[in-house]
Amino acid sequence: MAFNRALGTLAPQVPGFSDPVAYHLLPERLQRRVENARASLLSGSRQSPYPFWQLPMGLFNQFRTVILDRALSAAGPPEQLVTLGAGLDSRAWRLDGLKDTVVFEIDYPSTQAWKRQRAAAVPFKAKDVRFVAMDFQRDQLGPLILNAGFDARKTTFWLWEGVTMYLRPDEVSANLGAFAALSAPGSRIALTYLRRNNGRIPRSLFLALLGEPVRSAFEPAEMTALAKSRSWRLISDTSIDDWVKEAPDLKLPGRRIGLQRLESIWVGQA
């Protein structure tokens, strides 16, 4: 995903997209590929930074980044931002609106070790960045994040991008409850989830071979009802079909995006 964002930053096609930090988080071999794409664009030998097979997913990721950035901005500057399953997310390093926000990054220790090494030379724009190691399927968030200085009396924005589909529905529900229990009034959440495909959980052989099978999917009304049962009130629920209306000149047929054609962004408030 960071590679896609780094390539997209060379020639953004989605209005409002830019992620200059993503490049710095990549291993050297992928940085070289970004530089090769940059040189090809400058020479005129190619029109897009993406290989043809990567273009649909690259554009999808540009849209997803913009929509989530917008949801965060619409909430007003939160006192705390919790990025769940943070991976190589770059918001704490690139968003000026987080200058008064303490960012808590939640992820596996191995992923965090890589990120901390790669990001060490990049000044963050947030007030502070704190790394909290956690396994969503085994660990309890509360004790871990409170030990890192999280304050449940302060307004919080919970960002849960690209995680829920790897969890069972009961695990999604339990985590939503845990976030709500730690949220002051006015706190918000933005999460991505997969919609059901003809009433079924979609399958991905590629992800299954990677050891990360898809474990959950929800109808939009089902996602809203689940969140409501955990004290989250719906603000918006959108998908690629909604996002592309902002850039009608882009041709992005859903069938070319792959599994992500079924992905939605749900935003709610405590």
1 within 8 A of 233, measured Cβ to Cβ: no
pLDDT at 136: 72
Q: How far apart are CA 263 and CA 131, in angstroms?
A: 27
Terminus-to-terminus CA distance in the chain, angstroms?
29
Which of 84-88, 163-167, 255-259 is predicted with the least confidence, judged by mean pLDDT? 255-259
Q: Is the pLDDT of residue 99 over 80?
A: yes
pLDDT at 103: 98
Q: How far apart are CA 69 and CA 127, in angstroms?
A: 17
Task: Tell me the pLDDT band of 253, cut-offs 50, 70 and 90.
Answer: low
Q: Is the pLDDT of residue 255 over 70?
A: no
Which of helix, strand or coil describes residue 213?
A: coil
Task: Tell me the pLDDT band of 137, cut-offs 50, 70 and 90.
Answer: confident
Task: Tell me the pLDDT band of 142, cut-offs 50, 70 and 90.
Answer: very high
Q: How far apart are CA 84 and CA 190, in angstroms?
A: 10
Could you say which DSSP state residue 101 is in? Answer: -
Q: How far apart are CA 154 and CA 183, in angstroms?
A: 8
**Which alpha helices (DSSP H) does 155-219 contain, by range?**
169-181, 205-209
pLDDT digits (tens, 9 = 90+) for 31-45: 999 999 999 999 999
Mean pLDDT across the chain: 93
pLDDT at 204: 77
Q: Is the pLDDT of residue 128 over 70?
A: yes
The DSSP element (H or E) to which 115 belongs, if any, is helix 109-119
pLDDT at 247: 87
113: left (phi over 0), alpha (psi -120 to 50) or beta: alpha
- The model's pTM is 0.94
Q: Is the pLDDT of residue 259 over 90?
A: no
pLDDT at 250: 83
